[in-house]
Amino acid sequence: MVNEKLKEIEKDYINCLEYLTKNQKDSFKLKEILKKLNFYEEILKLKKQLEEIEKRIKEDEEILKSEEKELKEIAKEELKNLKEEKKKIENEINKLLNPPDIKDEKNAIIEIRAGTGGEEACLFVGDLFRMYVKYCEKKNYEIEILDSHPSELGGFKEIIFIVKGKGAYGNLKFEGGVHRVQRIPETDAYGRIHTSAATVAVFPEMEEEEIKINPDDLKIETFRASGHGGQHVNKTSSAVRITHIPTGITASCQDDRSQLKNKEKAMKILRARLQNFYEMERRKKIEDERRKFVKTGDRSEKIRTYNFPQNRVTDHRINFTLYNLDKVMDGEIDELIEKLKEGLGKNLKLSNRQIDN
């Protein structure tokens, strides 16, 4: 895996150098190219050191096969030191290829919405929410519902909640995307297998000081809550909708009887959505320059299938399948999460490092 990445870097490094020889250069692209070159040169310098050490290790191993006792003793001692040095340089390369993401330690805001499939899709949203709740219980994470829209049969058209706990976002960030379910729904009287879907979006919770929002850019509306909650929610304008005028992004909350608390929750959702919007805009600016950018669980992608008749769950991004869907739906998703971190996490970190540099 590391060798493949180093080969990709060498290839892109050459492309960057070739760009510098052009007479006409885009100022924004030139800035990004120079940053990438600095990052690449640091890694390639270590790669060269590693290759030299590996060459010396090979030479010492050949000496150990000879009959020269004195040389063998010297080679044996040197070999020990060279292997330690090799391990040290490999660790440095890995740190550069996989820099820690400070957002991983944050709380996570998760939005689950019903997709195709009508009421069955709403029931699936409820099942996914329960799966995440069970997982969070095992991790000692706290869950707070920010907003929800229940369906007639006990599912959800939409539910937004925050997962509080160290590393929550880092563990759940790859859950974003389209989740597909194949099963015989309760709503089907003929016992036929249906396919439905739900979309999941995962954002890091952003503190107020981390993303500045001009109050003049906000349009705040109150309205009467609908759905469950009894007579009270229908008699008072406790529900809040906040619109960020420059981007058109909105967030609403009606789960609490307090208008103030609903406003606070809506602002949490809005900050997370704005951060995601700005991050996507930033990525789009250099997308044409770096076609190798890995998939990141965008909600437009079908990322996972839950097949109930076969008791199977398959994550399509890493081509990984488990035949314990019953346990997965009961919150046992640690193995899936670790496989996703292994398969997608390193590539995402490398991509982010290339962007930031």
Task: Provide the 10 A C-beta neighbour count for residue 299.
Answer: 16
pLDDT given for residue 230 in this prediction: 41
pLDDT given for residue 255 in this prediction: 80
pLDDT given for residue 65 in this prediction: 84
Cross-strand partners of 218 = 244
Q: Is the pTM of this model over 0.75?
A: no
Report the distance separating Cα 351 and Cα 92, nearest Å.
18
pLDDT given for residue 288 in this prediction: 46
- DSSP annotation string for 72-118: HHHHHHHHHHHHHHHHHHHHHHHHHHS---GGGGS-EEEEEEE-SSH
Phi (first) and psi of residue 109, to 5 degrees: -105, 125
pLDDT given for residue 294 in this prediction: 32
The two structure tokens encoding residue 43: 């890694």
Residue for token pair 């009961």: 330
Q: How far is CA 348 from CA 67, 144, 155, 296, 325, in A?
A: 50, 28, 33, 7, 27
Report the distance separating Cα 181 and Cα 308, nearest Å.
8
pLDDT given for residue 211 in this prediction: 78
Q: Which of 66, 104, 64, 296 is nearest to 201 (CA)?
A: 296
The length of the chain in residues reads 357
HSE-up of 243 (CA within 13 Å, CB side)? 6
- DSSP annotation string for 205-243: PPPTTTS---GGGEEEEEE---SSS-HHHHHS--EEEEE
Q: How far is CA 126 from CA 106, 152, 182, 311, in A?
A: 24, 12, 15, 18
Cα 141 to chain centroid, rounded: 18
Q: What H or E segment, with its residue span, contains residue 244?
A: strand 239-244
pLDDT given for residue 347 in this prediction: 57
Phi (first) and psi of residue 188, to 5 degrees: -100, 120
One pLDDT digit (tens) per residue for the chain, 357 residues: 567 888 888 888 898 888 888 766 677 678 778 888 888 898 999 999 999 999 999 998 888 888 777 888 888 889 999 999 999 998 888 888 877 677 888 899 999 999 988 899 999 999 999 999 999 999 999 999 998 999 988 999 999 999 999 899 999 999 999 999 999 987 677 788 999 999 999 998 887 667 778 888 999 998 877 655 444 445 567 889 999 999 999 999 888 888 888 998 999 899 889 988 888 876 676 454 444 333 333 334 689 999 999 999 999 999 999 999 999 999 999 999 999 988 887 555 544 544 444
Q: How far is CA 162 from CA 132, 239, 293, 302, in A?
A: 11, 18, 28, 23
pLDDT given for residue 233 in this prediction: 47
pLDDT given for residue 356 in this prediction: 46
pLDDT given for residue 49 in this prediction: 93
Report the distance separating Cα 74 and Cα 64, nearest Å.
9
Q: What is the pLDDT of residues 194-213, one digit of tens each?
A: 999 999 999 988 876 677 78
